């Protein structure tokens, strides 16, 4: 069994996330993708709405795809959740399963700033997906990777679709070019604050939920 773990704030979930997860699953033949919305950090990040709303929106959005699921592992935990602990728990919950932690290029670049990233890179395999406007060559400076820049350039130019290699930790990393979907949650929140339409950026059910619960109207975004 091959499982993809897709973490994020999902504030809110949008078609950038959903399309990426679907393409990853199909291209790499994964059995399931588990979305893991982050919990409530003690000092709430600017613009981050309560985890119960974000969890429900993810649940609604993934319910129509039989290969998708949502996990409450971070959401039910009080205080800050760390990816390293979440991945440890998931490896424990799914013994004998290959678990890939799915990250956009932006998130992979940020990883050295996370809690115990050295442990995380030893714990699990990775899938790093394209995220415009960033490029795969942008991750060549990652301390966890010893990748061939020439191959990263081929990925960026579309000469190749994917690149499977090893992290310095010995774990597998698959870099994957996906259909660019330049949607961000920051952009969605901005449109809502400005009273503009968010139609076709996220599932209709999520849009209705946002409207019904008057989300993102009063909180100040990033």
Residues lying near ligand ATP in the complex (CB under 6 A):
8-11, 16-17, 20, 103-104, 106-107, 129, 131, 181, 183-186
Whole-angstrom distance, CA of residue 208 vs CA of residue 202: 10
- CB nearer ligand ATP, residue 54 or residue 152: 54
Q: Rounded to the nearest 10 degrees, what angle do helices 204-212 and 51-62 cross at? A: 150
Q: Say if CB 121 and CB 167 are below 8 A apart.
A: yes
Quick check: helix, strand or coil at residue 209?
Answer: helix
Q: How many residues does the chain have?
A: 222
Type and span of the H or E element at 74 = none
Kindly state the smallest distance separating residue 20's Cβ from ligand ATP, in Å. 4
CB-nearer residue toward ligand ATP: 95 or 158: 158
In whole angstroms, the minimum distance from the beta carbon of 133 to ligand ATP comes to 11
Closest distance of CB 96 from ligand ATP, Å: 26
Distance in angstroms (rounded) separating the CA atoms of residues 111 and 104: 11
Give 139 or 185: the residue with its C-beta nearer to ligand ATP.
185
CB of 54 to ligand ATP, least distance (A): 9
Of 17 and 25, the one with the shorter C-beta distance to ligand ATP is: 17
Q: What is the CA radius of gyration of the chain?
A: 17
Q: 3-class SS at 2?
A: strand
Q: Which is nearer to ligand ATP, 4 or 123 (CB)?
A: 4
Minimum distance of ligand ATP from residue 93's CB (angstroms)? 21
Q: Distance (Å, rounded) from C-alpha 5 to C-alpha 9?
A: 13
Chain center to CA of 175? 14
As measured in angstroms, the least distance from the Cβ of 154 to ligand ATP is 20
Measured CA to CA, the distance from residue 28 to residue 172 in angstroms comes to 13
- The residue (of 73 and 103) whose beta carbon lies closer to ligand ATP is 103
Strands 68-70 and 125-129: unpaired
Q: Which two tokens stand for residue 110?
A: 């940020």
Nearer to ligand ATP by C-beta: 147 or 188? 188
Q: Supply the minimum distance, in Å, between the C-beta of residue 110 and ligand ATP.
A: 9
């Amino acid at each position: 069994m091959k499982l993809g773990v897709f973490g994020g704030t999902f504030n809110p979930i949008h078609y950038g996330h959903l399309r990426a997860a679907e393409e990853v699953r199909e291209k790499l033949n994964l059995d399931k993708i588990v979305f893991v919305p982050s919990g409530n950090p003690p000092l709430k990040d600017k613009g981050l709405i309560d985890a119960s709303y974000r969890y429900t929106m993810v649940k609604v959005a993934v319910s129509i795809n039989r290969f998708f699921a949502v996990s409450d592992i971070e959401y039910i935990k009080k205080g800050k959740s760390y990816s390293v602990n979440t991945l440890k728990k998931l490896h424990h919950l799914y013994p004998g399963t290959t678990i890939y932690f799915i990250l956009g290029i932006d998130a992979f670049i940020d990883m050295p700033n996370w809690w115990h990233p050295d442990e995380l890179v030893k714990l699990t395999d990775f899938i790093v997906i394209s995220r415009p406007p960033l490029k795969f060559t942008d991750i060549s400076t990652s301390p966890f990777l010893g990748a061939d820049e020439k191959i990263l350039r081929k990925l960026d130019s579309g000469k190749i679709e994917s690149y499977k290699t090893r992290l310095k930790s010995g774990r597998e990393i698959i870099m994957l070019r996906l259909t660019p979907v330049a949607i961000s949650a920051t952009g969605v929140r901005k449109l809502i604050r400005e009273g503009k339409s968010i139609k076709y950026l996220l599932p209709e059910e999520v849009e209705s939920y946002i409207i019904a619960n008057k989300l993102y109207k009063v909180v100040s975004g990033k």
